[in-house]
Structure 1
Amino acid sequence: MLRYTVCFCSLLCLVITTCPVTIAHGDDFERLGWTRVWQDEFDQSTVNTGEWDVLNRRDSFNNEKQYYLDDQVSLFDGKLRLTATNVPLDGKAYRSGLVRTHEEWSYGRFEIRADLPTTQGMWPAIWLLPRTVNWPTGGEIDIMENRGSQPFLTSSAYHWQTDPNVPCCDQHRYSYSEYTATDALGAPVNFHEGFHDYAVEWEPNELRFYVDGNRHFTLVGATQRPIFDTAKSLILNLAVGGDFGGDPNGSTVFPQHFDIEYARVWQRENGFFGLVNGGFDESQGSFNDWETFNSTGSNITIATAGATTGSSAVRLASQQDGVSFAGLYQGVAVDGGESLRVRLDSLIPTGEALAAGGVASIKVEYYNQFGAGYQSAAFLGEDQFILADPGSLTAAWRRHEYLVDVPSAAVEARISILLNEGTTSGGALLLDSLSVVSVDGIAGDYNYDGQVDLADYTVWRDALGSTINLAADGNRDGEVNAADYTVWEAALSSSSAAAAVPEPSTLLLTMLALVSSRSSRLAVRS
């Protein structure tokens, strides 16, 4: 989880500046618009059968040769262990294990950390499948499959039926990708040695597959390749033999173990599918899903030092004389009339303050047609906020948070980061942890928990005077001030929590009024 250093500064400091935050490394996905909804860390003494089905099943598909038994499934050294043995049973030459979650999910990020077996005939798999919908009409998502004879390669796939209304399986189709990697010395990565992370992000109309944080496969839905929303459960199994990698032979060694350190599921906050790769960490640092503009190759780069989450951030540098601008953008689908929370972290490195006239900003542009050009007929307007200028604090990360209201006709909100240079070049800015989430538009609900209470007063109090941390900007004027207290107080008046409404001091409100003119916000609305 994200942690903040509490900043005790003078009242004047609170009013005029924003105190820096110290941000610890934590769970990146919780930072970037995902909420963890389920997990099993396998730290119990026995398998949690309240969460998992542990199968006893003789017959399987794909010409597999194992008998799945519950006694082949155990917890060992804080890991889930599926064990394959060559002990015959009821006509089957081998025994192995399979577990499947009771719960099903529609969309989400699914991540499993696992150590794979290594010998001919092993077929470990991590996959998602509906419980009650016939295969493949609801789709099958194979997060990871591996052949025991191929330690340097893993595979991911998606299976579907082009017309879900016809009987199985004449219209079964699939698409897959095989993944290899090299380490820092250029040697091939052996996925049978040690634990590796396997994940998929399943969203409407798109699947993104990852190994150790590297996205290696993306599928976008199409007329003949629908990405079904059918809810699916998580399956972990170790098959023996079959069509994928062949049967055991004289070289095969038993027993074999498929060890899983954890299984975790995230879903988007409020069901909103926001920015992808907001931390720039994909593929060991990349612009995946972002578009850059006016890039010279060195003015917009990935920085691998000092990130607030993960290992990467984006660096915007001023390098040219004269007035120019450069940046990057990404669009997200929105519903007209909703409210969005836009959040990011920024840092101006020591000795790299922006030169005179230089300004970095973030814009939220609105369009009634996805992918339309800026200032085209589909452009509906924009909100723009200053991130940094020549007088901004250096050498400390700052949290920026803004609330915007989407025009009723909008279908896309495009997040654009711009660095406008002044009359001379100079200065740089690091950006990390960008997220966009839909929030409930409840007046005075400054912590977005769905109700107005005293906790929202604390959010307002701690953000007083801020023009960059605007969670408590209840009247959307670009500054947290006395007017936002009034918004909260009015919303609280009918609540049972209103019995002891804290009153801000007269001195505090007076000083806020005196300095309110110092705050700046650029905003253009349709």
Structure 2
Amino acid sequence: MKKLTAALILLLSCQPVMAQQSNPFEPDFSEPEEITGMKLVWNDEFNTNGKPDPQYWRYEKGFVRNQETQWYQQDNATIKDGVLLIEGRKEAIKNPNYEAGSNDWRKNREYSEYTSSSIQTRGFKQFWFGRVEVRARIDTAMGSWPAIWTLGVSKPWPSNGEIDIMEFYRVKGVPTILANTAWGTETPYKARWDDQKIPLTHFTAKDKDWVKKFHIWRMDWDKDKINLYLDDELLNTTLLSETINADGSNGFLQEHYLLLNLAIGGVNGGKAVNNQIKYEVDYVRVYQKAD
């Protein structure tokens, strides 16, 4: 029996070790994947408890865009147990820019209804072409508007180019995953969009636990096109030959920086009803072609 046990141990020790699949309900603490022909140029695994690394991330503050409900502040972004948690909270924050009777939505609200966070790598980590992978779990509650996106460093929006690797909100009342690009037109601040809107049911019909799981959103970007994926399913392709601004420039032929944010309400999010909305980011990884 002892000899048989020893032989069995020897046999098992010679078997190839199979790669373990990460638990889709939990953070993934494994090392970044090696991709043939590419090198990892930057990543943040969000494995150190505390605040986002100030070498990589800066914060937006206040009422920023899209007539959104939330007040952006640092307090709502925290790293714990292997994930970056961006938390939307129902709470009133006094608006220091308040002006009674103002027509500016950023000034005519004395208090916020919600708070949240928006972080970005502008000035710290910028990239031109390559692959971006973000593993995240989103809250699909009413009012939730999480996003993974990039903006070009030069020219005003939208001529700088916008890539929405992931957005979620309700389109005509229907919970929807979006994968978009936008660029400039002859009218300032008016974008031309290549957008894809996929009802959430497209994913939940195949997996009843979809909303409880982490998923991998990916962008592959080269001189010819931008491909946007969700769990390896291609959602949208934008040809860069078609993204020419009115002045002849192309916002996708320059460096971009990354943004992670949880908006609430606004022009797309809908009226929030929960006191708390959570957006969890497990990691961000940026690859580029190996030399």
Fold shared, TM-score > 0.5 on shorter chain: yes
Q: Does 1:217 align with 2:240?
A: no
Q: 1:182 to 1:155 in 2, by over 3 A?
A: closer
Looking at structure 2, the residues matched to 156 and 77 of structure 1 have their Cα atoms a distance apart, in angstroms, of 29
Given that 1:125 and 1:144 are in contact with CA atoms closer than 8 Å, whether structure 2 keeps it comes out as yes
Given that 1:139 and 1:230 are in contact with CA atoms closer than 8 Å, whether structure 2 keeps it comes out as no
Q: 1:48 corresponds to which residue?
A: 53
Looking at structure 2, the residues matched to 29 and 205 of structure 1 have their Cα atoms a distance apart, in angstroms, of 25
Q: 1:28 to 1:82 in 2, by over 3 A?
A: closer
Q: Does 1:245 align with 2:250?
A: no
> Match for 1:111 among 113, 120, 133?
133
Q: 2:163 corresponds to which residue?
A: 141
Q: Which structure has the higher relative contact order (CA within 8 Å, separation 6+)?
A: 2
Looking at structure 1, the residues matched to 46 and 257 of structure 2 have their Cα atoms a distance apart, in angstroms, of 18
Q: 2:116 corresponds to which residue?
A: 96
Q: 1:31 to 1:69 in 2, by over 3 A?
A: closer
Q: 2:84 corresponds to which residue?
A: 80
Q: 1:365 corresponds to which residue?
A: none
Q: 1:117 to 1:223 in 2, by over 3 A?
A: closer
> Match for 1:58 among 39, 62, 70?
62
Q: 1:246 to 1:152 in 2, by over 3 A?
A: closer
The amino acid of 1:221's aligned partner reads: L
Q: 1:148 to 1:188 in 2, by over 3 A?
A: farther
Looking at structure 2, the residues matched to 220 and 73 of structure 1 have their Cα atoms a distance apart, in angstroms, of 35
What does the per-residue CA deviation read over 1:478-502, in whole Å, with 9 as the maximum and x for residues that have no partner? xxxxxxxxxxxxxxxxxxxxxxxxx
Unaligned ranges ≥5, structure 1: 1-21, 271-526
The amino acid of 1:125's aligned partner reads: A
Q: Which aligned runs of 4 or more in structure 1 are off by greater than 4 angstroms?
A: 22-29, 148-152, 188-191, 223-227
Looking at structure 2, the residues matched to 83 and 237 of structure 1 have their Cα atoms a distance apart, in angstroms, of 10
Structure 1 residue 232 displacement after superposition: 1.0
Q: Does 1:177 align with 2:231?
A: no
TM-score by length of 2: 0.74
Q: 1:354 corresponds to which residue?
A: none
More strand by share: 2
Structure 1 residue 148 displacement after superposition: 6.7
Structure 1 residue 191 displacement after superposition: 4.5
Given that 1:116 and 1:191 are in contact with CA atoms closer than 8 Å, whether structure 2 keeps it comes out as no
Q: 1:224 to 1:203 in 2, by over 3 A?
A: closer
Looking at structure 2, the residues matched to 173 and 216 of structure 1 have their Cα atoms a distance apart, in angstroms, of 18
Structure 1 residue 118 displacement after superposition: 2.8
Q: 1:255 corresponds to which residue?
A: 276
Given that 2:161 and 2:182 are in contact with CA atoms closer than 8 Å, whether structure 1 keeps it comes out as yes
SS at match of 2:75: helix
SS at match of 1:222: helix
Structure 1 residue 151 displacement after superposition: 8.8
Looking at structure 2, the residues matched to 151 and 75 of structure 1 have their Cα atoms a distance apart, in angstroms, of 31
Looking at structure 2, the residues matched to 94 and 258 of structure 1 have their Cα atoms a distance apart, in angstroms, of 15
Looking at structure 1, the residues matched to 285 and 84 of structure 2 have their Cα atoms a distance apart, in angstroms, of 13
Q: 1:234 corresponds to which residue?
A: 258
Looking at structure 1, the residues matched to 93 and 174 of structure 2 have their Cα atoms a distance apart, in angstroms, of 29
Structure 1 residue 29 displacement after superposition: 6.5
Q: 1:133 to 1:266 in 2, by over 3 A?
A: same
SS at match of 1:39: strand
Given that 2:49 and 2:81 are in contact with CA atoms closer than 8 Å, whether structure 1 keeps it comes out as no
Looking at structure 2, the residues matched to 267 and 114 of structure 1 have their Cα atoms a distance apart, in angstroms, of 21
Looking at structure 1, the residues matched to 77 and 159 of structure 2 have their Cα atoms a distance apart, in angstroms, of 30
Given that 1:152 and 1:188 are in contact with CA atoms closer than 8 Å, whether structure 2 keeps it comes out as no
Looking at structure 1, the residues matched to 176 and 187 of structure 2 have their Cα atoms a distance apart, in angstroms, of 34
Given that 2:170 and 2:268 are in contact with CA atoms closer than 8 Å, whether structure 1 keeps it comes out as no
Given that 1:207 and 1:218 are in contact with CA atoms closer than 8 Å, whether structure 2 keeps it comes out as yes
Q: 1:44 to 1:230 in 2, by over 3 A?
A: same
Looking at structure 2, the residues matched to 134 and 120 of structure 1 have their Cα atoms a distance apart, in angstroms, of 31
Given that 2:84 and 2:281 are in contact with CA atoms closer than 8 Å, whether structure 1 keeps it comes out as yes
Given that 1:107 and 1:203 are in contact with CA atoms closer than 8 Å, whether structure 2 keeps it comes out as yes
Write out aligned runs for 1:430-469 (5 A).
none
Given that 2:159 and 2:251 are in contact with CA atoms closer than 8 Å, whether structure 1 keeps it comes out as no
Query: What value does the CA root-mean-square deviation take over the aligned residues?
Result: 2.7
Looking at structure 2, the residues matched to 182 and 88 of structure 1 have their Cα atoms a distance apart, in angstroms, of 35
Structure 1 residue 243 displacement after superposition: 1.2
Looking at structure 1, the residues matched to 42 and 32 of structure 2 have their Cα atoms a distance apart, in angstroms, of 16
Q: Does 1:126 align with 2:148?
A: yes
Select between 74-83 and 132-141 the one with higher mean Cα deviation: 132-141
Q: Does 1:269 align with 2:287?
A: no
Looking at structure 2, the residues matched to 23 and 227 of structure 1 have their Cα atoms a distance apart, in angstroms, of 45
Looking at structure 1, the residues matched to 77 and 275 of structure 2 have their Cα atoms a distance apart, in angstroms, of 16
Q: 1:140 to 1:111 in 2, by over 3 A?
A: same
Q: 1:213 to 1:105 in 2, by over 3 A?
A: same
Q: Does 1:199 align with 2:218?
A: yes
SS at match of 1:236: strand
What does the per-residue CA deviation read over 1:168-214, in whole Å, with 9 as the maximum and x for residues that have no partner? 235x201111235457xx64556432111111111112010110111
SS at match of 1:147: strand
What does the per-residue CA deviation read over 1:425-477, in whole Å, with 9 as the maximum and x for residues that have no partner? xxxxxxxxxxxxxxxxxxxxxxxxxxxxxxxxxxxxxxxxxxxxxxxxxxxxx
What does the per-residue CA deviation read over 1:268-327, in whole Å, with 9 as the maximum and x for residues that have no partner? 112xxxxxxxxxxxxxxxxxxxxxxxxxxxxxxxxxxxxxxxxxxxxxxxxxxxxxxxxx
Q: 1:470 corresponds to which residue?
A: none
Alignment: residue pair count: 239
Q: 2:247 corresponds to which residue?
A: none
